[in-house]
Structure 1
Amino acid sequence: MEIKKTLLWVVFSVSGIMLFNNWQIAHGNKPLPFLAPPSATNSTTPSNVKDAENGAQLPNTPSLSQKQSNIPGGVAKNTMEPIAINTIHLENDVLDLEISSKGGTITKSSLKKHLDKGDKGDPVILMENKANHIYLARSGLISQGLDVPNHNDLFLQKLGSDGTTLVLVSEKNGITYEKTYTLKPNSYVLEVTHKVTNKSSSPILSTIYAELVRDGTSIDESEFYSTFTGPAMFTEKDKFKEVAFKDIENNKIPPPAPLGLEEPGWVAMVQHYFASAWIPETNTKREFYFDKLDKNLYRIGMTSSLDTIAPGATQSQTAKLFIGPDDETILRPISPGFELIKDYGRLTIIAKPIFWFLTQIHSVVGNWGWAIIILTVLIKLAFFPLSAASYKSMARMKEVQPRLVQMKEQYKNDPTKLNKEMMEMYRKEKINPLGGCLPVVIQIPVFISLYWVLLLSVEMRGAPWTLWIHDLSAPDTSLSDLVGLSIPIGILPILMAISMFVQTKLNPAPPDPVQAKVMLFMPLAFSLMFFFFPSGLVLYYIVNNLLSIGQQWQINRLYGSKK
């Protein structure tokens, strides 16, 4: 029974399907149904953006409660002509925010320490309000049966003398709503204080809402891998939960139950490397909501109830708005579970210790490229006994390879007899046919976890290694830059292909000639894919392959001398 042959064909088949799926996506087609990522969205540009920007009250989905259905929709621009809308900058060392007097909405956010081309270019723009890309953070006030200030109203603005505090005030029907934005030095967290004063003659019940509005276009830095883009939320009960745009569109996920007074919770909008999130106080009644505002336009938010405000009385609440990178050292202190925004999926339990270990190595060597190399070596050493058993099994299989070929020829018309003779030979030679596969299978979760650690870590973005590698998060384009090609062709993927070819030659060739040829062509196929992968990932695979080659060569040499 040729179990190894079956396993190899399974690997080749899966690789072929995934390559075809990526080719489909790269050419604008839908992914295969069973490979569609959770973040697959309708990437069309909103056709009704102009109506939304003019403050249209768009319908809410039935999933919203009656209170939440009072939250106004639309992506509002000025509807109060001839009064002009002002935009004020609020900035510190790491953030530059543009805040509109229309609703006090954050219409643009620039991350000063993260450049749009990794190690060069202009600051990354996370939020903006354009015809082809809408991403906003806004808040407002709702009160049943009473028209109160919200994100569609004009606010008076007063910027503090230090440029890090902004006060916005609006009044309607005797209700004064004041928002104060405070940006501390070197912080990605904006503190937002909501203050409501009742100047009317009757008590009121009001609720503050804070939401993130975004179009459903995914942000991926390559056509050959996909990361999640969309809303997410956290509760103590359900922990971190991503909400795909398509699930909002189809009303597949109901909002969770209201949070307890002391239960932590927040809502976020995440994409590759960066995120934004509203984190309100924990001593208030809060509820999540999310819905579709328009074609390819969605929002996720949280309401926070105020107590009854008597005439002449004032109440206030404070919330946090995070706008920044998925850096765990920055995320962890902000709120319970906030570091989960950097989502490793089901392999989190393995990936998080690997990332912690990688950061410890980096704190010593001071270079992420060398940290990747050292971590790969340490992981290889940890799995040395398993790898050695695998390579010994392969070496034994290589010894009996001529006899297997002879058996296949001798019993080519009698598969039952062939399997019987093969199993008898394995028994006499004390060879386990699965001996070369099972140790590898055990290591797969670790190496997949390391793959996601390197792919999702914003710390790699713009981080150099040495010589020609200036950004470990970007593909190696060293050769294409020399000859002026538009497609990425670099030295690392070529070295990767060479290492895979050498490793293939050291392993026993399959008895089937077709399989043997496929094994020789696999390095070429994989190297084409690795041209588009981040340099840090390719570096990891090269080091791992080189270590495997050395280990396999030594074992083959020892068995050859014994023979």
Structure 2
Amino acid sequence: MDSQRSILILALAFVSFLLWQQWHKDYGQEPVTSQPQAEQLDSSGELQLSADEFGTQPVATSPAVGPASSQHEQIVRVETDVLQVEISTRGGDIVGLKLSEYELTKDSQTPYVMMRRQTGFNYIAESGLIGQHGPDARSGNRPVYHTNQLNFTLASDQQELVVPLHYEYQGLQIEKRFIFRPGQYDVSVEYHLNNTSDEVRVIQNYQHLRQTIDGGKDSSFFMPIYRGAAYGTASDRYKKYSFKDMQKSNLSIPTQGGWAAMLEHYFVAAWVPNQQVDNLIYSRYHQGQGLIGASGPMLQLQPGEQTVIATIFYAGPKVQDNLAELANGLDLTVDYGFLWFISQPLFWLLTLIQGFVGNWGVAIILITIVVKGVMYPLTKIQYESMAKMRNLKPKIEDLQARYKDDRQKLGPAMMELYRKEKVNPMGGCLPLLLQMPIFLALYWVFVESVELRHAPFMLWLQDLSAPDPWFILPVLFGASMFMMQKLTPMTVTDPMQRKLMMWMPVAFSVFFIWFPSGLVLYWLVSNLISLAQMLYIYRGMEKKGLHSRKA
């Protein structure tokens, strides 16, 4: 191509298209198709799973969620400084969960709703005991626990809040405990078991997340919202398992440790079973409902024996350090894609800078300066190559005129000119290709980091995760791109290509209207730094007589 500047602009356009395409693929809602399954729904609409699918053979019972028995379901409400949780006494399931520290929308004062049970849409966390003597294995009738109170609040000076639920079945005394701690989104879920019978009791714990696939939040063309499952095993730290995948086949993966989760962009709900034992990661789908979870090993309780089965339930923001402490690979739910090994250090640097300046917008500006500074040697090579190519424009045009009717001779003549003048026609491309992974890695940092959600910058920019409400940043970006074009005049002669290049800043300004303002801020600052670097590099070349802006 005659102009390295054209390569840069076209590469930017192409990469931005690929980014949007991949974003839409990963975060867009999957279409829902019905498919026959062996599992059946009972009269309450709950999903049934056979025991052998939990790995409980030879037990022939199943975890059942059935209609009300003689006991009435009640809702236990728990409030901490960061969580508002609703627990049903039927099965001890979490049927409602809000995040007190995260607003549903900017300045709405309404907490973000993660889990809920409502008409047309359910998103709940179920858990229980199956096996030969598990109370949840009874077909059509789950246990209804009893409790002495229905409202629990974690006091400001309290280090732990225990919410106990009690049930007795076939001589097996069960206390299901939910343990909350201040400032934490992970909840310990424990079964304290006491076999008071004179026979062996065989039980197995299970826990899963269940969600209506065709319900939930709205998605838009430019800001799609991801809803889907993911899991981790000893051999595969992080694996997405979309609702579309769930409809096609059932997971059944034995592993030591592991975890199962459902994601929705900035937030994640996950079950983390005992990491020291063998578990089974499983999934199911039936009539618009999908679930993913894990079951533990079979346990035999001798007469008079007591034991504790403990799991962890997490529901909250994708804070990488917190997730990494819970399970191997759970922090990868902050999905940076295949460039995660670059994104993670960049995110660490971004948070380090923000810790000093206290403003995420300022941190974005500073990390852009740092990255552009580190890449300056490559930038210099790129712009010097572009300038040398532009200086050759008269000689290139002369060759094109001389061999306009003989394309076979034009190529060798051009290569001879490049060799004689010691110019590499692709010299501006290699630095660009080397820089592109860093640009893409930063892109995913800005898109995936919950820390930027509703984060204010200054003046009219009060949410860096949302588009610029006044379109000022996109317009400034277009202006900076136009200035870069003026600083490096186009060498293409085709009128159509010249018009395309001329309108490129306008196209990008319109395109960036729908992008998060934090991302547009990054591109704007990057362009301004590039302008300064170009002026500096070209001025140095002019002093050496190697560059002419009028070439």
> Is residue 2:533 matched to residue 1:531?
no
Aligned length: 531
State the match for 1:500 in structure 2. Answer: 481
State the match for 2:284 in structure 1. Answer: 291
What amino acid is the match of 1:232?
A: A
Shift of 1:378: 0.6
What amino acid is the match of 1:525?
A: A
3-state SS of 2:252 partner: coil
What amino acid is the match of 2:361?
A: G
State the match for 1:237 in structure 2. Answer: 235
State the match for 1:549 in structure 2. Answer: 531
> Is residue 2:331 matched to residue 1:339?
yes
3-state SS of 1:477 partner: coil
Contact 2:77/2:85 (CA < 8 Å) preserved in 1?
yes
Contact 2:54/2:295 (CA < 8 Å) preserved in 1?
no
**Using the alignment, how far apart are the partners of 1:471 and 1:52 within structure 2?**
45
| Pairs within 5 Å for 1:146-545 | 148=136, 152-159=142-149, 164-216=161-213, 223-224=221-222, 228-251=226-249, 254-259=251-256, 264-292=257-285, 294-478=286-470, 490-509=471-490, 510-545=492-527
State the match for 1:133 in structure 2. Answer: 121
3-state SS of 1:308 partner: strand
- How many percent identity over aligned positions? 33
> Is residue 2:31 matched to residue 1:42?
yes
Contiguous gaps of at least 5 residues in structure 2:
155-160
Worse-superposed segment, 441-450 or 110-119? 110-119
State the match for 2:81 in structure 1. Answer: 93
Per-residue CA distance 1:25-49 (angstroms, 9 max, x = gap): 9xxxxx8xxxx43875225899x9x
State the match for 2:157 in structure 1. Answer: none
Contact 1:91/1:183 (CA < 8 Å) preserved in 2?
no
Worse-superposed segment, 211-220 or 283-292? 211-220
3-state SS of 1:305 partner: coil
Shift of 1:494: 1.0
**Using the alignment, how far apart are the partners of 2:378 and 2:49 within structure 1?**
59
CA RMSD of aligned residues (A): 3.4
- Change in Cα spacing, 1:89 to 1:497, as seen in structure 2 (3 Å) is same
3-state SS of 1:393 partner: helix
3-state SS of 1:93 partner: coil
Per-residue CA distance 1:455-495 (angstroms, 9 max, x = gap): 111111111111111011111112xxxxxxxxxxx111111
Contact 1:228/1:270 (CA < 8 Å) preserved in 2?
yes
State the match for 1:113 in structure 2. Answer: 101
Shift of 1:116: 1.4
- Change in Cα spacing, 1:173 to 1:98, as seen in structure 2 (3 Å) is same
3-state SS of 1:434 partner: coil
Shift of 1:333: 3.0
3-state SS of 2:238 partner: strand
**Using the alignment, how far apart are the partners of 1:152 and 1:512 within structure 2?**
74
TM-score (norm 2): 0.86
**Using the alignment, how far apart are the partners of 1:100 and 1:546 within structure 2?**
56
Shift of 1:226: 5.3
Contact 1:103/1:155 (CA < 8 Å) preserved in 2?
yes
Contact 1:89/1:98 (CA < 8 Å) preserved in 2?
yes
- Change in Cα spacing, 1:125 to 1:430, as seen in structure 2 (3 Å) is same
> Is residue 2:51 matched to residue 1:54?
no
What amino acid is the match of 1:193?
A: E
- Change in Cα spacing, 1:193 to 1:312, as seen in structure 2 (3 Å) is same
Per-residue CA distance 1:274-325 (angstroms, 9 max, x = gap): 1111122234332211121x23321111112353112343322121111110
Per-residue CA distance 1:167-215 (angstroms, 9 max, x = gap): 1123334433321111111211111111233344431211010111123
3-state SS of 2:455 partner: coil
**Using the alignment, how far apart are the partners of 1:57 and 1:255 within structure 2?**
17
State the match for 1:143 in structure 2. Answer: 131
**Using the alignment, how far apart are the partners of 1:65 and 1:2 within structure 2?**
65
What amino acid is the match of 2:191?
A: H
What amino acid is the match of 2:263?
A: V
- Change in Cα spacing, 1:124 to 1:223, as seen in structure 2 (3 Å) is same
**Using the alignment, how far apart are the partners of 1:9 and 1:449 within structure 2?**
19
Contiguous gaps of at least 5 residues in structure 1:
26-30, 479-489
TM-score (norm 1): 0.84
